[in-house]
Structure 1
């Protein structure tokens, strides 16, 4: 059995905390700084996916672990939609889980260079292109886990690619795109860019004390925390 990576668990915890901070804006809309902190969450979840993909043997696509991994993402893509829609009924996109699910398929295609792996990745890219307007973070967000897998494998200048994709994913937000010259948007994009080297630095830390593992409960935490924040907003 592969030993748990304390840096990966720490990364997941920080991704969860930054996601919560982002969604607390539904309780405190005037706290714009929470939006900036929230730009760390999606790239770090993508990095967690990339780290899980990269540590599996290349070519070993059909494994029980991969089957469970995809199954949990698909299941909570469905289960999370109602709480997400309840919290933000004005959103033009789906919850973030479908983006992460499609991103996993593309990352598999990069890491497992088999015919079926390539077909799955191609299908995911085609679906993402056709459904770009309804996917949170759009096609750049779907491609981000695969870019991180490439960067882990090849290093050097490849780390520029996920940084640009993290920025591009945020620019699928129509408000950010319309105000791209404003300093606040620059801060948002800089935070998205910085999430990649900071996150990979966490993965490389050695000698960390054990961190409480983020297990399968993490999937359920996403819809539960959305519903909890909505409930608090109604009671406030």
Structure 2
């Protein structure tokens, strides 16, 4: 599955993830009377988290044996996870940990599975234990932490039957990350909730299509993505306050 362009296709995936995330968060600053009309923004937002997880899986998948940049990659995520927590809590008025903590734990587990060195396996077990202990306050829960590893398995699949199983599993985990135990109420959910579930389930396949898409040129999504996360929440918080 290493036949897609490394830079441009992955940057396209990250751009779509960023755009869908911002569309999702923009819904929260709409006047209350408009939120129901623009509920479709929340549905589009269900694509963002699985696409970010796929970006992590694709990055790890491309790492050569003996890759030594994993600590720097993880450090950037965790640094901005800490920086972003106060803006995140302020914007969502939530006691949950922000998405970067979930992605950071998922990265450690995914690297452990891919490289299988003793130190990474130890780190992966610790990350899994931390995720299990803090799952009640992790954004997207334990399923969200495991999603990058499941997507890595899907990227690694060679046999068609294995591909079907792994990508189907990834779709299920993406839905569980977005809905949690709410999936048990599937027959009784309203149409807008079903639309969000469908978007989450289709996100891994959409991501796969984006990774296969050949792009001649696109602006790279690099480390500026990390500060964008807390900055856009601070901006949205300020806008929502001015409109009260």
Both structures adopt the same fold (TM-score exceeding 0.5): yes
Query: SS state of the match for residue 209, structure 1?
Result: coil
Unaligned segments of structure 1, at least 5 residues: none
Q: Is the 8 A contact 1:128 1:139 kept in 2?
A: yes
Match of 1:51 among 40, 49, 58: 58
Residue by residue over 1:49-82, the C-alpha shift from the partner in whole angstroms, topping out at 9 and shown as x without a partner, is: 1111000124x25x1x212101101100100001
Matched, 1:105 2:108: yes
Matched, 1:216 2:223: yes
Match of 2:206 among 187, 198, 202: 198
Offset, 1:92: 3.4
Offset, 1:114: 1.9
Q: Is the 8 A contact 1:110 1:150 kept in 2?
A: no
Offset, 1:221: 0.4
> What is the Cα-based RMSD across aligned positions, in Å?
1.6
Match of 1:69 among 56, 67, 73: 73
- Report the Cα distance in structure 2 between the residues aligned to 1:227 and 1:179, rounded to whole angstroms: 35
Residue by residue over 1:213-232, the C-alpha shift from the partner in whole angstroms, topping out at 9 and shown as x without a partner, is: 11100001000000011111
Match of 1:234 among 236, 241, 244: 241
Matched, 1:36 2:14: no
- Report the Cα distance in structure 2 between the residues aligned to 1:106 and 1:142, rounded to whole angstroms: 8
- Report the Cα distance in structure 2 between the residues aligned to 1:211 and 1:145, rounded to whole angstroms: 24
Offset, 1:187: 1.3
- Tell me how many residue pairs correspond in the alignment: 227
TM-score, scaled relative to structure 2: 0.88
Matched, 1:136 2:136: no
Match of 2:117 among 114, 117, 120: 114
Q: Is the 8 A contact 2:176 2:183 kept in 1?
A: no
- Report the Cα distance in structure 1 between the residues aligned to 2:196 and 2:96, rounded to whole angstroms: 20
Matched, 1:159 2:161: no
Residue by residue over 1:81-110, the C-alpha shift from the partner in whole angstroms, topping out at 9 and shown as x without a partner, is: 011111111x23111110000000010111
Offset, 1:185: 2.0
Q: Is the 8 A contact 1:179 1:185 kept in 2?
A: no
- Report the Cα distance in structure 1 between the residues aligned to 2:6 and 2:196, rounded to whole angstroms: 32
- Report the Cα distance in structure 1 between the residues aligned to 2:213 and 2:28, rounded to whole angstroms: 34
Residue by residue over 1:163-185, the C-alpha shift from the partner in whole angstroms, topping out at 9 and shown as x without a partner, is: 1110110123x7x5585421322
Structure 1 stretches (4+) deviating beyond 6 angstroms? none
Match of 1:146 among 129, 146, 149: 149
